[in-house]
Amino acid sequence: MYTFTPNPGNIFLVLDITVKNNAVEKGFYLTESSISLSYAKGGTSPVPSITSKVRGGLDNPLIMPTKIEQHDQRTGQIVFGVADSSGSYTINLIGADGAVVSSVPIVLR
């Protein structure tokens, strides 16, 4: 059995996502640093994905790094360690140049 616990005061935020390459003709590499989570209120650094550290406990982890060819996609679970008191985030897809390519708001309920 796989066991991993979050840091004190934090929870694991597990998201099921699909990343599709609509435009990059030569494909792009999706890595842990390609996906980050920002607090909607701002003021703090983005939270990096910790999927590779906990993927043994997931049903369908998004295995990274992986190359996504044009018009192809990858689906799976990614994990972030977040403060349990905050509930609004933005998930960001970061391009090879370090710029945010796509963002989606996330609200915990």
Once rounded to an integer, what is the mean pLDDT over residues 62-77? 96
Domains of the chain, CATH where assigned? 10-107 (2.60.40.1240)
Q: How confident is the model at residue 43 (pLDDT cuts 50, 70, 90)?
A: low
- pLDDT digit string, tens, across residues 18-36: 999 998 999 999 999 999 9
- pLDDT digit string, tens, across residues 4-22: 788 888 889 999 999 999 9
- pLDDT digit string, tens, across residues 76-87: 999 998 886 667
Tell me, what's the pLDDT at 82?
A: 87
Tokens 């004190």 locate to: 8
Q: In percent, how much of the chain has pLDDT > 90?
A: 53
Tell me, what's the pLDDT at 85?
A: 66
Pairing, β 66-68 against β 28-30: antiparallel
Distances (CA, A) of 76 to 1, 7, 51, 103: 21, 23, 10, 17
- Residue 90: pLDDT over 70: yes
Q: Which long-range contacts (CB under 8 A, 24 or more apart) does 46-53 make?
A: 46/92, 47/80, 47/81, 47/82, 48/80, 49/78, 49/79, 49/80, 50/79, 50/80, 50/81, 51/77, 51/78, 51/79, 53/4, 53/79
Classified as helix, coil or strand, 57 is helix
